């Protein structure tokens, strides 16, 4: 069966999960570090065929200022061992600069991200994988 992002959003909310936003063909799950703060959890459910759960793990250069890109990504992959043990596979890496909103010529930090994905046979399996993904540590 094919689903829209809005249908997936409703299913996730009905399952007791909190949605950060629906964008395009994916629903971004939320985390709430404090009662009055809602944030992107790094977990997404894509309305693809088959359904796909994605999770992004990251490290910030500011936390490892003396390490090169290779070593920072190694830290993220080590964190990803729990993710791959649950059947997720690495699909993409990204280096994302965080630009100063007051000065576009200044970079505040750099995120080193690895995206993992896991297909789901049906909606029930997708919700179970989303729940598992929400428990993963996502920052090295």
Domains of the chain by residue range: 5-135
- Helix, strand and coil percent figures for the chain, each rounded to 5: 30, 45, 25
The pLDDT of residue 2: 86
The pLDDT of residue 33: 84
The pLDDT of residue 40: 93
Q: What is the pLDDT along the chain (140 residues), one digit of tens a residue?
A: 789 999 999 999 999 999 999 989 999 999 988 888 899 999 999 999 999 999 999 999 999 999 999 999 999 999 999 999 999 999 999 999 999 999 999 999 999 999 999 999 999 999 999 999 999 999 99
Strand segments (E) across 3-139 = 19-23, 26-34, 37-46, 51-60, 89-100, 103-120
CATH 3.30.1460 assigned to domain 5-135? The reply is yes
Report how far residue 48's alpha carbon sits from residue 99's, in angstroms, rounded to the nearest whole number: 32
């Amino acid at each position: 069966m094919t689903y829209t992002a809005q249908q997936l959003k409703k299913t996730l909310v009905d399952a007791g999960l909190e949605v950060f936003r629906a964008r395009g063909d994916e629903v971004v799950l939320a985390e709430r570090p404090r009662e009055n703060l809602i944030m992107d959890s790094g977990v997404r459910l894509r309305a693809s065929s088959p359904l796909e759960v994605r999770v992004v793990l990251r490290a910030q250069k500011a936390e490892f200022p003396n390490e090169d890109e290779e070593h920072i990504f190694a830290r993220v992959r080590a964190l990803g061992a729990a993710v791959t043990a649950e059947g997720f596979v690495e699909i993409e890496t990204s280096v994302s600069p965080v630009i100063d909103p007051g000065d576009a010529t200044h970079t505040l930090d750099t995120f080193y991200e690895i995206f993992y994905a896991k297909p789901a046979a049906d909606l029930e399996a997708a919700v179970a994988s989303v729940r598992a993904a929400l428990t993963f540590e996502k920052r090295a």
